[in-house]
Amino acid sequence: MSEPLNIDLLVFPRWVVPVRPRGAVLEKHAVAVQGGQIVDVLPLSEVTSKYVAEHTVSLPDHAILPGLINLHTHAAMTLMRGLADDLPLMRWLQEHIWPAETTHVSADFVRDGSLLACAEMLRGGVTCFSDMYFYPAATAEAVILSGMRACLGLVVLEFPTNYAADVDDYLNKGLAFRDTLRGHDRITTCLAPHAPYTVSNRSFEKVLTYAEQLNLNIHTHLHETRDEITQSEAEHGLRPIQRLANLGLLGPNFIAAHGVHLHQGEMELLAERGCHIAHCPASNLKLASGIASIAQLLAQGVNVGLGTDGAASNNSLDMFAEMRLAALLAKGASGDAEALPAWTALEMATINGAKALGLDSEIGSLEIGKRADMIAVNLNSVETTPCYDPVSHLIYAANRGQVSHVWVDGVAVLEDRQLTQIDQRDILEKTKLWQSKLQH
């Protein structure tokens, strides 16, 4: 009989919710981790004969599941949380957000705001996020310090900002930053042209050229509001999605944030081209952008992930809230109580987001060989008792405050609700200083 293998970590929860295979909820199982990788998900009866762990974590009231993936956010804008509320998108941007960015956004602003966002997301069970903002190198500093995983967008705009002067400057700075990250285990990059209403055809063509040459995803806002579509029809004679299709941008590496206003033919086009949607239900409601037809998109076979958008328009980075809201909105909008069931909402926040980022071979489910990005949710509370179905509770009853432990690459970045990599007191003090500047 062979000796037990020495490994780094064994976690003993009440339930393992691996996400793949779909519908599996494992009781009396453990998750084994070595070198940042899941090496086994096995019955408790087999553990002692197979493994000896340096660290063991017993969580008898918890569900273990993959870390959540926030597919669309602007992390640094967490410093603008509540700065301007109860306004439609373009007034919100033009009268409040863009002026504030012109005055205050810098590398320091982005680093501190992103670190605040990382702290919030980790405490809410998010282990990976897809970002779109200026000074990506500063965001990377926050990601590295926090221990998170991220895909950082290389922003492209027509107009100058504190970060860059013109399209070529945005691209050159973004690609130079990308070169500094080669081989980084937890950070990838994509091209992030802001939106069809802020990027010209010529600039989109440049983005596409780089995306094809470097095998990068393209992440943009698309069909977020009716005004955006009306403006495009007046200026280009086309709806934005058709304009991007004509330019050749739609494909398996294309992530459209929002996708609120899509007709049937456009959904079919997205499915045919293998595109992805980052659904942001809370932000869409708060900015009165509308309710996306997610049940129809899923029925067409479009891969849909979940995002929070930025905390300036949400006003939180709470993926538990997004999962619940996505499920409820789909039912209410479609008149079908079976639309977007709990399992689908969980997939949208995990494996679907991983697929959109091209990381589904590494994260998004608890499978042997994947990275050990895992979260533990305590379901033994007044709010989540009794528990007949842990997945139902994760979507409809639990909240982010019940996330007790988070691991990224097998490293504990949250233990018993306490951040292990981020100095929470320090970032709160820095946030107060930024608040004082933004208020004056």
pLDDT score for 90: 86
Q: Give the pairing of strands 254-258 and 37-43.
A: unpaired
Per-residue model confidence (pLDDT) at position 2 = 81
Q: What is the pLDDT of residues 250-305, one digit of tens each?
A: 999 999 999 999 999 999 999 999 999 999 999 999 999 999 999 999 999 999 99
Contacts of 85 (CB under 8 A, 6+ apart): 286, 315
State how far the Cα of 265 lies from the Cα of 96, in Å rounded to an integer: 36
Q: Which residues contact 363 (CB under 8 A, 6 or more apart)?
A: 66, 67, 69, 127, 128, 149, 354, 370, 371, 373
Predicted pLDDT of residue 182: 84
Question: Average of pLDDT values for 83-100?
Answer: 88
Confidence of residue 87 (pLDDT cuts 50, 70, 90): confident
Per residue in 115-157, pLDDT tens? 999 999 999 999 999 999 999 999 999 999 999 999 999 999 9
Q: How far is CA 118 from CA 163, 177, 229, 279, 423, in A?
A: 22, 20, 33, 20, 11
pLDDT category at 36 given cuts 50, 70, 90 is very high
How many CB atoms lie under 10 A from the CB of residue 381? 16
Kindly provide the residue ranges of all beta strands, DSSP E only, lying in 329-410, ordered along the sequence: 374-378, 403-408
pLDDT, one tens digit per residue, over 60-69 is 999 999 999 9
- The string of pLDDT tens digits covering residues 353-375 is 999 999 999 999 999 999 999 99
pLDDT at 440 over 80: no
Q: What mean pLDDT, rounded, does the chain reach?
A: 96
**Considering the chain, what percentage of its residues have pLDDT values greater than 90?**
94
Q: What is the pLDDT of residues 243-260, one digit of tens each?
A: 999 999 999 999 999 999
Report whether the peptide linkage leading into residue 315 is cis, meaning its omega lies within 30 degrees of zero.
yes
Instruction: Name the nearest CA neighbour of 427 among 435, 439, 416, 415.
Output: 435
414-440 per-residue burial string, b: 16 or more CB within 10 A, e: under 16: beeeebebbeeeebeebbeebeeeeee
Least Cα distance to 369 among 34, 26, 17, 4 occurs for 34
- Position 183 scores a pLDDT of 81
d(CA 282, CA 291): 10
| pLDDT for 93 | 86
Question: b vs e for 287-312, b when ≥16 Cβ sit within 10 Å of the residue's Cβ?
Answer: bebbebbbbbbbebebbbbbbbbbbb
Q: What is the pLDDT of residue 439?
A: 85
What confidence score (pLDDT) does residue 1 get? 57
pTM: 0.97
Instruction: Provide the pLDDT for residue 158.
Output: 97
What percent of the chain shows pLDDT beyond 70? Answer: 100
Number of H helices, E strands in the chain: 17, 17
Task: Go through the domains of the chain in sequence order and give each one's CATH number.
Answer: 5-66+371-409 (2.30.40.10), 68-356 (3.20.20.140)
Residue range 377-391, pLDDT digits in tens:
999 999 999 999 999
Distance between CA 86 and CA 215 in Å, rounded? 39
